[in-house]
Amino acid sequence: MSTTLPRRIDRSLPREEQLRLLVDGARLIRRRNLALIAEAGLGHVGGDLSAADIVATLFLSVLRIDPTNPTLPERDRFVMSKGHCSGVLYTTLASCGFFDAALLDTYMKPLSPLNGHPDRKRVPGVEANTGPLGHGLPIAVGMAIAATLDGSPRRIFCLTGDGELQEGSNWEALMVGGHRSLDRLTVIVDRNGLQQGAPTEETSRLEPLADKARAFGWAVTEVDGHDHAALLDLFEQLPVEPGRPSFVIAHTHKGNPVSFMRDRVEWHHKVPSADQVAAALEELV
Amino acid sequence: MTTILPAPALYDCRDAFVATIDSLATDDERVVVVCNDSVGSSKLGGFQEKFPHRLINVGIAEQVMIGVAAGLANGGKRPFVSGASCFLTARGLEQIKVDLAYSNANVTVCAMSPGVAYGELGPTHHSLEDISWLRAIDNLVLTVPADPLETEQALRAAAEHDGPVFVRVSRMGVPSVYPADYRFEIGRAARLRDGTDVTLIANGTMVSRALDAAVLLAVDGVAARVVSMPTVKPLDVAEIVAAAEETGAIVTVEEHSVHGGLGSAVAEAVVAHRPVPMRILGFSGFAPTGSASFLLDHFGLNPAGIHAAATHLLERKRG
């Protein structure tokens, strides 16, 4: 199945035009992402749709990357710590031209490089192998230390789930990041409030999350994770505070914006039927 | 006339570790060290003074220690992770698997004070499972050097290797076992003594003890071959098959559990290629209280114990 994919956005365009392209780009990524999951019969649609606007904004507009030269030393780094949301990552990487979009049709098929969780050895643009939760942020901290040692302006972004923050390794990493004042590092929490089977606050509560991150030495800000203009403004003004790593709580909705998926915990990894995909695509025109 | 030989000098391989890391860091600015509050126990005080920015102490936190090393490697660095083997392998196991091995990160994991080096501190601080756990992980070179020369060369080989390498660094005094012209190579065993009756295969702190056992066996008229197997993975299968074919009996000796370590690796090769009688010497069960040297004796991991095991095995071989 193939549908149109967006391209990276020319940052010299007027801002309104950039925003229009970004909004539409995220919509196209969602459409292709849904098709991907329908075709594979597998995936994590709720988390993909929750993260889509953040991932699209970073890759289409913000990251200083060259998809034709994916290992350029001075590239910005993006770590998808919520590796189960590989669907939105692969769709976005294909949009940027890291690999042929036809490869998306092989998602999770036998011998495909597009495993259920990303593999940097096989997929250009993937910086870290994630899947077990709580791995991305420690790696991103190491990337930021490397950039600091090099005196490099390259920036490190790490997208984590919110339920994922229950893993203790994240708090080890938050301590190190705060202690070392890694202001090239930005962690974005996809704060949709739902983990696999229940709300985070009913499972092992995260709140007061902002206070916790602040107490660990991070500069905290909150944003609507589906508001492209707000995301773009925020990412352009990093760090949130000089001398501190940035902790962005992006308020999102699992399954957004599909009416019958939004904020519904069962869509963590439920696979939509053909009719449901058609209905969802109707809402993404 | 009895000749009394002077006791051989004993070396703490951590000294070779810090000297080698210093040399590598001097020559290559990509070299960095990541540790977990282990500056003292890894003897890294001098390195920290000389290269303050290149010693990244993440605190007592092994998961982030391995993750940070993977991130540094992504950023073009050549990280050497250093920490007590018992903690870094157990607490960081999933990170070693995913962030290093599965990701093919150029990180060297230096496992300090492995085996029963921490003696009296007890089983919480013993690292007798590390090789077994790690051996099941793909794309991870496992090395257990026997003396300072081999420690240095294993670290230099790791620095050149494309992919992660695990190096055990012993603190228990060991004599020098290799000639000065010895050259370590990943995946290559070293035949230190030839013989035709039985082969003793050892690594790490057990190599010198296997050599001493061979001397005791010679007194009985038994010609024991001694093979040092510094790389548990990839294994030198050809040397093992040669030992099976040419000596017909194999004793393995390791400062590690008898489950899943060097002995198991050798046994897998032996049953697949040339089944012969074997004995696997090592630790079984949580060790009781005692110093490292007491525990090695207690579990028969000394020349007399190896001699006894080989003698028993030869009886089986003869039927």
Confidence band of B2 (pLDDT split at 50, 70, 90): low
Residue B161, number of CB atoms within 10 A of its CB: 13
DSSP β-bridge partners for residue A197: none
What is the model's pLDDT at position B7?
82
- Sign, CA torsion A202/A204/A210/A211: positive
Express each pLDDT in A53-73 by its tens digit.
Answer: 999 999 999 999 999 999 999
In total, chain A counts a number of residues equal to 285
pLDDT over 50 at A1, yes or no: no
Q: What is the mean pLDDT of residues A265-275?
A: 91
Element (H, E) at A79: strand A77-80
Nearest to B67 among A73, A121, A173 (CB): A173
What is the model's pLDDT at position A269?
86
Q: Which residue has the higher pLDDT, A1 or A77?
A: A77
Nearest to B68 among A121, A132, A141 (CB): A141
Least confident of A90-94, B5-9, B125-129, B234-238: B5-9
Nearest to A129 among B73, B75, B103 (CB): B103
Extents of the domains making up chain A: 15-282
Residues with Cβ within 8 Å of residue B288, at least 6 apart in sequence: B295, B298
Nearest to A73 among B63, B68, B76 (CB): B76
Distance CA B206, CA B123 (A): 20
For chain A, list residues whose CB is within 8 angstroms of any CB belonging to chain B: 73, 77, 119-121, 127-132, 134-135, 137-147, 149-150, 168-169, 172-173, 175-176, 179
Residues with Cβ within 8 Å of residue B160, at least 6 apart in sequence: none
pLDDT over 60 at B1, yes or no: no
Q: What is the mean pLDDT of residues A222-227?
A: 98
CB contact under 8 A, A176 and B32: no
Residues with Cβ within 8 Å of residue A161, at least 6 apart in sequence: A47, A81, A82, A85, A133, A189, A190, A195
Residue keyed to tokens 């190599």: B207
Cα atoms in the 13 Å half-sphere on the side-chain side of A5: 27
What is the model's pLDDT at position B155?
98
CB contact under 8 A, A138 and B95: yes
Q: Which strand ranges, in their side-by-side order, compose the sheet holding B165-169?
A: B55-57, B31-35, B78-84, B108-112, B165-169, B141-143, B231-233
Closest B-chain CA to A179 = B58
Distance CA A16, CA A229 (A): 9
What's the CATH code, domain A15-282?
3.40.50.970
Closest A-chain CA to B65 = A138
What DSSP line would sit under chain B, residue for residue?
----PPPPP-B-HHHHHHHHHHHHHHH-TTEEEEESS-TTTTT-HHHHHH-GGGEEE--S-HHHHHHHHHHHHHTT-EEEEEEEHHHHHHHTHHHIIIIIIITT---EEEEES-BTTTGGG-TTT-BSSHHHHHHTSSS-EEE---SHHHHHHHHHHHHHSSS-EEEEE--S-B---S-TT----TT--EEEE--SSEEEEE-TTHHHHHHHHHHHHHHTT--EEEEE--EEES--HHHHHHHHHHHS-EEEEEEEESSSSHHHHHHHHHHHH----EEEEEE-SS--S--HHHHHHHTT-SHHHHHHHHHHHHHHHH-
What is the model's pLDDT at position A2?
47
Q: Give the gap in angstroms from C-alpha B318 to the nearest C-alpha of chain A.
A: 51
**Which domains can be identified in chain B, with CATH numbers?**
13-169 (3.40.50.970), 190-318 (3.40.50.920)
What percentage of chain B reaches a pLDDT higher than 90? 96
What is the model's pLDDT at position B55?
98
Nearest to B98 among A135, A137, A145 (CB): A135
Residues with Cβ within 8 Å of residue A16, at least 6 apart in sequence: none
Express each pLDDT in B261-288 by its tens digit.
Answer: 999 999 999 999 999 999 999 999 999 9
Distance CA B199, CA B228 (A): 10
Instruction: State the best of B35, B55, B58 to mutate against chain A, taking most chain A CBs within 10 Å.
Output: B58
Q: What angle do CA A171, A174, A178 make, to 5 degrees?
A: 145
Confidence band of A208 (pLDDT split at 50, 70, 90): very high
Q: What is the mean pLDDT of residues B17-35?
A: 98
Cα–Cα distances (Å) from B198 to A95, B248, B317, in that order, read 63, 6, 9
Express each pLDDT in A115-174 by its tens digit.
Answer: 999 999 999 999 999 999 999 999 999 999 999 999 999 999 999 999 999 999 999 999
Closest A-chain CA to B59 = A176
Closest A-chain CA to B91 = A169
Q: Which residues of B are known to be catalytic?
A: 62
DSSP β-bridge partners for residue A248: A188, A221
CB contact under 8 A, B68 and A139: yes
Per CB-CB distance under 8 Å, the chain A contacts of B37 are: none
DSSP β-bridge partners for residue B231: B143
The values of phi and psi at residue A136, to 5°, are -65, -45
CB contact under 8 A, B70 and A128: yes
CB contact under 8 A, A172 and B103: no
Per-residue burial over B84-119, b if 16 or more Cβ lie within 10 Å, else e, is bbbbbbebbbebbbbbbbbbbbbbbbbbbbbbbbbb
The values of phi and psi at residue B82, to 5°, are -135, 125
What is the model's pLDDT at position A282?
96
Q: What is the mean pLDDT of residues A227-248?
A: 98
pLDDT over 90 at A3, yes or no: no
For chain B, list residues whose CB is within 8 angstroms of any CB belonging to chain A: 32, 34, 53-54, 56, 58-59, 61, 63-64, 66-77, 79, 94-95, 98-99, 102-104
Express each pLDDT in B187-242 by its tens digit.
Answer: 999 999 999 999 999 999 999 999 999 999 999 999 999 999 999 999 999 999 99
C-beta of residue B88 within 8 angstroms of C-beta of residue B33: no
What is the model's pLDDT at position B107?
98
Per CB-CB distance under 8 Å, the chain B contacts of A179 are: 59
CB contact under 8 A, B72 and A143: yes
* DSSP at A58: I
How many A×B Cβ pairs under 8 Å? 105
Residues with Cβ within 8 Å of residue A241, at least 6 apart in sequence: A183, A219
Q: What is the mean pLDDT of residues A216-221?
A: 98
